[in-house]
Structures are given as structure tokens and as C-alpha cells.
Structure 1
């Protein structure tokens, strides 16, 4: 089994004194992923490069990062009969938007204030994600990753060839105000499309919509004829029960009244044979206690007085209840008829459990639907006017979006061209082609945007994916990233062999620009070029070795410093770690890289 190692920092050149202002990944633990058995990387701010022999497993570091931040889980990367796992520790400022989203998911910071992410994948393809000690859907981690991580590799170069991506890059360069304008355009486009679709639907489905509208109108008329009120069914049930049981209710109330206050009406006639009522008994007890003169008994007498007052009040209320209670067969019939009418409405227009309130909700919804189903000439004319007004507003926004892109295109092309000049493409010219079709705007505007490249003097400006070689395309992408670096809030950038096909002076300039990115970002680069690796603040080497005992190839990752680093750079330059010429060249590269200006 490969030993577990901690790859400590290897610092050189102008030190990066603190984490990027938007945060950084301070630790990465990978186990069971591809050739990696169990490795912990202590990552540092600045530029970290990962190097090693071809096939050693360098890209597993990128794979681990991608997996950690919500990327697709590939069970083929998991060791047989095992489980792959990646865990990372994020150091984030207190005002990072990531904290709010993490809190929504129930995550909590670790004891040192960091945020821990974890992801596991089984050999069967089952995947689980954890955030701040809580199990969360992978989609939550992927959402958070949008504010944390940008991974660039060969697939990202392919993405850069898409016109939509080039348009988004130009919009991003144009600034926040322009991006807000594009968002307004998306909203206006959606409103216009909805109105246009609704108008077309009403015109082409006139008969069907008219039939549906007629059904709704009949229902509303039937409900209006009954005019039910909120909670009326419950009130009618109470009234029906009271009217139907009036005699029994009167008898019970009278009996209770007599027991409490006696015959106060004289209907029963006076006489000593009536049972003593509660108020009389209470009064007698109160007099007896008050006459004792004992303070304790006098206090009890006062309390009995309060009880007597309550009993008397209840007696009065019972008398009023009996007076209002009348066995009225005609009124009972009215209540039952009304209840039957409302029950019929509930049966027709609501769920039984919703009662009359469900009927009223159906009526409100039907009125709204009728507004959308109106196919009268007046309604169609009004809707057409509304659609045209929305189209005019959209056209005005489209014009402003186009103007913003046109204004930004020249500056963007000039800035990218300036960076390309430093990447050994001094003669290259970058420009944008903006073609506007005002009649058919899309959500993002009426423009088709194409990034054009003339790789050398005399060459025609062609779409970048047609006018650039693989190495040139890598440099164009890197140039764009450098242009955006100052404003990009993503704290961690990962570049997976974006220097493929590049060599010579251009390789050194790529390293210089990656180091420039690393001033504001934590940058992790997988590279095969010594000219790039020489600029690293932290240099990690991936070693491949046979596992003693099982004969399985395993991978270790170690940090190199001093002479070990010189030997690694010499290997990258000449294939020989102990070559005097290679080591001299490596030291020269380190000296040049130390001056990052």
C-alpha cells in the first residue's frame, strides 16, 4: 500500500503572505481514487504546480477537486471493491456568500472556523456529499462551487469555441451594469414571448377556448346564484342542529338555570317545596362565615361572594339563551335548503374536505382563467397591443445591449491581444464579430458574437477554434483568464495541462501569468513544463511506484524543495534528474522565475 504523506509547503520567490481575499482551500485529502491510495495535501495560497511522469496520476488531483465540488462521480475511478473519498478544508472570509448557502443547508464551521466538504463514491456508483458535518444533496455542493472553484482544461478550451460562451465572456468584460442590462433583457424577452404565445394560442384555438370559457362562466353563474359566504357551511350546520333540537336544548338550559338561580320568573309559583338553588346555598354559606368574625373564615366568605356573582351571571345568560331559542319549523326548513344548495356546490366545484371555502377558491381561479381565455375581438386587440408594447420595450433593451457589447469589444480584444503578445503571439490579432438580428432576439439579446483570431500578419481573421492551433487556443484562454483575474470573485482556479502544445518562451510567459493570477487567487496547475513549474510557490510531485504485496501501481504525492526541486525540474527538462546540464538549466529557470515582474 502507498504510504500516507503530508505534502508540506515549498515556498520560493515573492511570498504570498495570506489567502486570497475570497478564500482558499487549505487542505485536500484523497483516498481510493484511481492510483491514489491515501494522500493529504496541505495547500497554500499562491501558485501550486503538480508535476510527475506521464501516467503517474497527476490528473487525479484535478479529478479529486472536481469530485469534491459536485462534479460527476465516475465509479470507474474507484478502486476495485472499494470506496473513493475526497475531503477538503476551506478557509473563507466572514462575508463570503458561501456561508449563507451553507447555513441554509444546516452546515456549521469547524472549530478553527473553516468549512469542511466531503464526497464519497462507491465502486457501484453511489455517491454522497457532506458539507460542514451535514449530509447534503450533491447539487448543493455544486451550487456552492460556482462561488468557489473554476476548473480549466481541454474541455474548457472546447467550451471557449462556442459562440454563446464567447458572448458571455464579452458581457462579463463589459461590467456589472451591462450584466444587469442583459438580465433585464432576459426578463423582458420572457414577458414578450409569453404574451406572443398567449395571443397565438387564443387565435388558433378559438373554438376550444370558447368552450372552456363557457363552462367556467356557467360555473361562476351557478355559484353567484347561491352567493355562498366563507365558512357558511359550518355556520349552517350549527344552526340546523340548534333548530332541530330546540325543545331538548330548552329543557336542559331551564333545568340548569333553576339549579343555579331558582325560579326568577314566577312561572313555577312560590312555595317551600322547591329545591334550594345554588345561589341561595352560596348566600347562606357566605352569611354564616362572615358572621363568625374569624379573619380566615371572613376571607373565605369573600371568595364565596365572587363565586355567587359568577353563578348569577351564568343564570342570566341561560335565561337569554332560552328566550332566544325557538322551535321554528319554517326557519329550520330554510336552513336545510340553504345547506343543501351549498353542499351541491361543494360536490361540483371543490374537494369535500375543503367545503364552501374550496368553492370560493375555484371561483377566484375561474375568474382569472376567464381573463386568459377571452377570445373576443376586444380582448384579442388588447392583448395584441400589450404584446407590441412589450416588443418595443424589448427592442429598446436589445439596442442598449448591442451598444454595450460593441463598446466593450474593442477594449476586450486589445487587452487579450496584449496578453497574447507576452505569450509569444506578438503578431496575433484578436477581434470580435458582432452580428445583430433585431427581428429575432434571443433571451440574451439580438447579437451573434464570435471571437476572431488572426494568428499572424496576413492571415484572415477567423473564428478562434478554426484559426488557432491547440497550443494557441490554450494561450488565448489563459489570456482571457488573466484579463478577468482582477474582477473574478472565484477564489480557487485549477488549470489542467492548459499548456499542452506550448513550449519555449511562451511556456515561461504562461508561468509568469499564472503567477500573476496567483496574487489574487489560489491557483493549482497540472503541468509538464518546467518553465511553468519554476514559478510555483508550492511544487508537488506525483510519484508512481509498485505496491509491495499486491503488485498494484500506487501513487504518492510529495512536496519538493531545494535540491529535490532542482532535480524534478531537470527531469522535466531533459528526462534525467542527475544531469549537470539539466540541473544548471533548472537553477537558471528558478532564478528567472524569482523575478515575476
Structure 2
């Protein structure tokens, strides 16, 4: 439970610490004193949306901090530990510190157990620690989704497990159905794509291009296009290498002559013999080169113009493929390979459609079966919830009121089953039941919501309940009845209530007052208004209740009435305590 809440620079509160504990804690104060800042601080600590406008005027940032005590084996502590939080022992409990800061520019930071953490994680942990209910929740209770959520919470853990199984099957069914629909709707486009691929691959296969063929043909065409200049150059080179003219002998002849001269003198000097051997090697190289150039000339004469024409025709055919499919023949071949794979995939659509249809049918049967289980559980839970909430309404000064929870079958399964949930209220004897959103007043909605929470607390307990002026629009006996039910709820869980009703505040185990202080400058519109938060002792409680009753906290008559309220409330609390001890 919450042990303490500290608030800095939030709204009109500059610095405040709220001591909390088990049982019922009420927060009271004049209108505008800043009572709702307690709820705002809790909302921040629960990871809810932060509004920079809540930062106190002139302050750089606001801070909310809570000390939470939990059983050492509580699952929230395990989740906090996994995020790196420090958890301190506190007697028989473990202590966890939660903080949330909000800058005037709207930036928000959170820490859990002294370690920085995502605000989303703060929200996940907070959902299992505190349930906050305010006037906005009364409005939300009119919505079918909120009514369904309340019924599903009441249905218990077994129902929750079935709902999880249903939602997994439903998501799978929806995805398979989407894929199946997509395949069917796109079948014409896919047939057209397959036909285009078949034509393209037939065209490529007919030409049978080879890797690198376009580059090879380009080189060959360049060669043949310049055949005369190539022939002249080769002929000149061969003449220089192997000329038989006595006056201008060729390289081979000159090399052989040089070798003979060196060899003849080599007998007298080994170095010249070595030169002669090397000259012989040079002669062999020159002779081989001459033969290669001669062969090149012969090839030029054999290829001629006819070969060039053949090459240009082939290049034109390959260029058609390049223009259609890819920048080079190698890339055309790669595209063809991937297209063959794609064609096989397209050819398997019919088989895939049959497989998906079978899978969809099986999943649909599973969804329908699980939806039927949900409907059965909801119908059973709806009868019990209607009965228990109606009993609670009787205790809340609505003796003839009946809450009716209806479960209607929908045409198609949805994300939460195939049920529509409606809560109807018959506030008086003989009154026709009407939907909560149409027939219930604000005061009636307050009591219906409180009755539902009291009932749910028995099956889906949260350590702390916070109510923000849910007694709005209620007075007289109904206000006393609400105080009694809150006191009863506080025997099982921690309850914090922001209230303006003395009949409710009288039942508090702990009474906190928010006091507004305005200086003269503030009253003139130039200064600041601040609020203090104080825990009241018995005498202060009497004066605060007198203020709430008559606006005259020093009035003897008002104080006498306040003392009477406190005495009546104490008698009920004592009886509740004895009943609990008797069990």
C-alpha cells in the first residue's frame, strides 16, 4: 500500500507530504485549495499523461514521489527488480520508491527504486498497485467497453485465461483471413504477372545469352571495325621482326648475326659466351612473336566483313534484352533467375489459397468455440454481478434500485468475443431499466460505480483505491451510506478519498486537509497562491467537519453536529472491527 506521497510545485502546492496508511484516508479542503493535486500527483506516479500546465507558476519543474510497502513476494517487486530497481526492507514488508518529475516545458522523467525507467513501465506497475476513480470514470462507465471490462474483471482468473486464448486465436484467424482475401483479390494481377514473366523468360531463353557476351561482342566489333589499320600495323610489325631484305634486315636476322659474332669470340671470354646464349633466347622470342603476328594477320583475313555483320546482328538482339530487363547481360541473366523463382511462387498460389482456406476454417471453429465459452462464463458472471451490485445499491440508500447486466450475442466475433455487454439501471420500484448512459443521474452513477468497485474488490483486489469526489451530486442519507461502504471497503484495502461531504469524511481513519493561503498581492492578482497539507487530530477534525457542514468551523452547533457524525461513524467502524475479529 501507499505509505507516503510527497508533492513539490504541483498546481498550488509548493511542498507537501501526505502521511498515509491502512484503512480510509480522506482529503478535504475549500474549493480551489488544491485537493485534486493529490489525484494529479497519483496520476503522474501511475504513468498517466503529464500536462505541463500542472507545474506551479514560476517553478522549473514539479515532482511527485510515493513510498510503497508490499509483501516481499509481490509480483510488482519482481518486475521492478528486473528493471534494476533498489528495494529496501521495511519490517515485514519491502519498500519501493516511485518518482515522476515534470518540467515546465512538458518533459517528463520517471524513476523506480532509484533507477531511471520508462514512464510506460511506471504505468504497468501502477496498474497493479492503485485504482483511481474520478468523475471522468463515472462518464466512462457509460461506455460499453468500460462495462464489459467490469464484467470481465468480475468473471475471474479462469475467464481471463480463456479470454487470452480466444484473443490469440482471433488474431491468428484475422491474419490468415487477411492473407486469404489478399490472395483472392490479387489473383487477376498475379495471373497477369505470371504471364508477363513467362513471355519474358521465353524471349531470353530463345536468345540464350551467355555471361559477359555483350562485352565480348563489343570488343570483337571494335576490332573488326578497324581491321585495315590493324592489318597495316601488324604487317609493319612483322616486317620489322622478320624482314629478308639484305639492306634492312629484320630483328630476327640481326639478333642471329649478333649471336654468331658473340659465340665466335666466346671461346676467348666466358662473359661473351653468356651474352651469346642470352642473344639466342632473344632470337627465339623474336621468332615466336613473328609467328604470332603472322597468325593474327591470317585471322583478320579470315573474319572479314561477314563476321562483323554477324556480330552486329547478335549485339542488336542482346541490346533488346538489355533495354527491357537490365543494364547488362549479366544482370539480365540474374533477373531471369529471380523471375523463375517468382514464377514458381505465383504458380503455387492456388495451393496456398487452399491451405489458407483450410487454416482459416479451423481457426474460425476455434474462435467460435472459445467465444461460446466466454459467453457462457459472462452470462453466469452477469447474473451474479447484477445480484451483488443491486445488494450494494440497497446499502447505498437506493433500496429499490436494480442493476441489470445484459449479455447480447453479436453477429460476428470481435476482439473480446462475440458478446455485447450492457448495464441497465432501474433506480426505483416499477421503473423500466435504462442504459446507464441515458437514465442515471450523476449521484446515481457515483453509487453504481462505488457498488461495482466494492464487489470487484472481493474478486480482483488492488492494494489501493483512490476516489476523487465520486460523491458529487449526493447528499443526505445517500452520503452517509457512501461513507459506510467506503469504510467497509477500507477494511480490506487501502482507500483514499477526496471528498466535500462531511458524512463521508467522518468515517476516515486518517483525515488530511488542504489549506489555501493567499497573500494580499495574490488577492490583487499580482502574487501567488499556495496550499499547505496538514494531518488533522481529533479536535481539528471536529472543526473541519463543522466547516464542511455549515461553513462555520467555530460554531458550537456545527461542532456538536460534527461530533455526532464522528460518533456514529466510530460505532460502525467498531462493529466492523469486531466482526472481522470474530471471523
TM-score by length of 2: 0.70
Task: Say if 2:169 is the partner of 1:195.
Answer: no
Give CA-to-partner distance per residue, 1:262-281, whole Å, 9 cap, x none: xxxxxxxxxxxxxxxxxxxx
- Number of the residue aligned with 1:445: 417
Deviation at 1:562, TM superposition (A): 1.5
The one of 169, 174, 180 equivalent to 2:150 is 169
Among 411, 428, 431, the alignment partner of 2:401 is 428
Where do residues 173-322 of structure 1 align in structure 2 (5 Å cutoff)?
Answer: 173-209=154-190
Query: What is the match of residue 484 of structure 1?
Result: 456
How far does residue 488 in structure 1 lie from its aligned partner after superposition? Answer: 2.5
Which of 345, 349, 357 pairs up with 1:384?
357
SS in structure 1 opposite 2:349?
coil
Q: Rg: which structure is higher?
A: 2
Cα distance change of structure 1 residues 575 and 194 upon mapping to structure 2, 3 Å threshold:
same
Matched, 1:90 2:68: yes
Classify the secondary structure of the residue corresponding to 1:31.
Answer: strand
1:72 aligns with 2:49: yes
- On the 8 A contact 2:405/2:424 being kept in 1, the answer is yes
Cα distance, 1:539 vs structure 2: 0.1
* Residue number in structure 2 paired with 1:48: 25
- 2:15 matched to which residue of 1? 38
Q: Corresponding residue for 2:302? A: none
Q: Verify the 8 A CA contact 1:210 1:375 in the aligned structure 2.
A: no
Distance in 2 between residues matched to 1:142 and 1:506, nearest whole Å: 34
What is the alpha-carbon distance in structure 2 between the residues aligned to residue 572 and residue 590 of structure 1? 13
Separation in structure 2 between the aligned mates of residue 513 and residue 136 of structure 1, nearest angstrom: 37
Offset at residue 143 of structure 1 (A): 1.4
Matches within 5 A, 1:16-165: 24-82=1-59, 83-110=61-88, 112=90, 113-165=94-146
> Counterparts of 2:126 and 2:380 in 1: how far apart (Å)?
32
Larger CA deviation: 28-37 vs 105-114: 105-114
Cα contact 1:153–1:498 (8 A) shared by 2: yes
8 A Cα contact 2:156 2:459, kept in partner: no
1:215, distance to aligned residue in structure 2 (A): 11
Deviation readout 1:353-387 (Å, 9 max, x if unpaired): xxxxxx9xx99xx89x98798322x4323322221
Aligned 1:287-436 pairs, distance under 5 A? 374-376=348-350, 378-436=351-409
Alignment RMSD, CA only?
2.8
Aligned residue number for residue 499 of structure 2: 527
On the 8 A contact 1:209/1:373 being kept in 2, the answer is: no
Change (3 A) 1:205 1:419: same
1:202-236: CA deviation from partner (whole Å, max 9, x where unpaired) = 111014446778999999xxxxxxxxxxxxxxxxx
Q: Which has the higher helix share?
A: 2
Assess, with a 3 A threshold, how the Cα gap between structure 1 residues 544 and 192 changes in structure 2: closer, same or farther.
Answer: same
**1:549 and 1:433 mapped to 2: Cα distance?**
58
Are 1:422 and 1:506, in contact at CA under 8 Å, matched by a contact in 2? no
Q: State the 1:177 CA deviation.
A: 1.1
Question: Which secondary structure state, in structure 1, belongs to the residue aligned with residue 414 of structure 2?
Answer: coil
Does structure 2 conserve the Cα–Cα contact (< 8 Å) formed by 1:26 and 1:89? yes
Q: Is 2:557 the partner of 1:581?
A: yes
SS of alignment partner, residue 25 of structure 2: strand
**What is the DSSP-based 3-state SS (H/G/I as helix, E as strand, rest coil) of the residue aligned with 2:110?**
strand
SS at match of 1:106: coil
Match for residue 513 of structure 2 among 513, 534, 541 = 541
Length, aligned pairs only: 434
Deviation, structure 1 residue 514: 1.0
* Distance 1:25-1:216 versus aligned 2 partners, 3 A rule: farther
Task: Give, in angstroms, the shift of residue 152 of structure 1.
Answer: 0.2
Q: Secondary structure at the match of 2:388?
A: helix
Q: 1:373 to 1:81 in 2, by over 3 A?
A: farther
For residues 209 and 487 of structure 1, the distance between their equivalents in structure 2, rounded to whole angstroms, comes to 55
Change (3 A) 1:216 1:544: farther
Show the 5 A alignment for 1:468-507: 468-507=440-479
2:154–2:460 Cα contact (<8 Å) kept:
no
Q: CA deviation at 1:57?
A: 0.8
| Equivalent position of 1:555 in the other structure | 531
Cα distance in 2 for partners of 1:370, 1:33 equals: 66
Give the TM-score of the pair, scaled to structure 1. Answer: 0.68
| CA positional deviation for 1:48 | 0.4
Give a deviation string over 1:87-125, Cα, whole Å, max 9, x none: 111111111111222122221124654111111111111
Structure 1 residue runs without a partner (length 5+): 1-23, 220-343, 350-358
1:62-106 C-alpha deviation (Å, 9 max, x unpaired)? 111111221211111112331111111111111111122212222
For the 8 Å contact 2:13–2:56, the answer to whether it is kept is: no
Distance 1:462 1:97, change over 3 A: same
Per-residue CA deviation, residues 264-300 of structure 1 (Å, 9 max, x unaligned), is: xxxxxxxxxxxxxxxxxxxxxxxxxxxxxxxxxxxxx
